[in-house]
Structure 1
Amino acid sequence: MSPTARTTPTRGRHRVVTDREQLHALLEDALLAHLGVVVGDHPLVLPVAFGVDLAGPDAGGSLYLHASVAAGWLDRAAGADVCVTVTELDGLVTGRSAFHHSMNYRCAVVVGRARLVTAEDERLRALDLVVDHMVPGRAATLRPSTRKELAATAVLAVPLAEASMKARAGGPGDDPDDVATGTWGGHVPLRWVAGPPVPDADCSTPVPADVLARAAALR
């Protein structure tokens, strides 16, 4: 990656990830993004579902964000510079001092001009990508969206070109004197775990293969 002045980390440089492939892997693993936008006189950070098209029309690929046309922040985000953060928490780091407690993580920060997707073909593809990001292959099994549903749904595209990523792994960086005290130090790995799919109360159809595969991949 080639961070700009806006995406160059100013501390913790030993945790900076420069391989864009690792950014792509994080976007594949993560299920939730947070969009930061200025609304009026205050900033607003919102959780959003997303999809990724590395071959999309935006520089570096397209990060698609799902939104509602009724959202009060949409007009402020479209055409403006926004910040999108994607984080995966991979572990709890328990040091031998409060100072050396930390977390293992992978975090990407993407800054760019948000574009409201208006072309029908691109918007439909983007919405399929958002669905398939949650459950791969799911979009092809669903009925087409209705005009009413599409009229109520907005999609923002953010270029992936201007991005930075940091990651931490392993145990604490304790001082030798603290290690000598015999206090336990280490880390607790964390990962996504999915339970068995739960059918809706009025559903008599067997759980489809795409949902079963997604649940199995998160165990």
Structure 2
Amino acid sequence: MFTVYVYVLDTLADWELGHVTSELNTGRFFSKAAPRVSIKTVSYSKEPIHTMGGLTVVPDCLIDEIAVSDTSVLLLPGANTWNDPKHGAILAKASELLSAGGTVCAICGATAALAGAGLLDNRPHTSNGLGFLEMFTSGYKGTSFYVDEQSVADGNLITAGSTGGLAWAKQIIKRLGVFEVDTLEAWYEYFSTGKPEYFYALMQTLPSSNSAQQ
């Protein structure tokens, strides 16, 4: 079983999490052999946070409650408030998780936070652009590892820029192994192109019990 911890903070960019959390939570396209996935919101306090889209989220748990394990997954969304020192605790936890074999996934502004913590200095990664990291991160030393793609996976570290939410979701789902390979490809093609042939291809890849629920 995987536990997916979604870090929530004020001004969280709602749209960046939509694809990955909806699929991991519903399991609607999971393979029959997929492991169970539990999703929890986590933050530095139990106080409600307010997303960029105006939603209010009450965290399920605190940072200290994150299990440091190879079955733990940490999602770090973009936000305009990552430079607040109170987020240092989740960056320290991200470092622990990476060392323990857990999976850390950062998108948009969260990549700058990881860069500022030195976690991108020696691993392939991406962001909103190399200039973005250089502009907003003091001491960033990972320029030679920067990859100009929407999303980049380097083992248990997955990063993306603000427009890479779908590609990011694909790489996270692949990492967890909860979709069949052909299901994941059809799913990605459908949501990236909108072409109906990929929807039908997606349905055809599913176990009959899943297909009947769509």
TM-score by length of 1: 0.27
Q: Which of 1 and 2 has higher RCO (CA within 8 Å, sep 6+)? A: 1
TM-score, length basis structure 2: 0.28
Q: Which has the larger radius of gyration?
A: 1
Higher strand share: 1
In terms of fraction of residues, the more helix-rich structure is 2
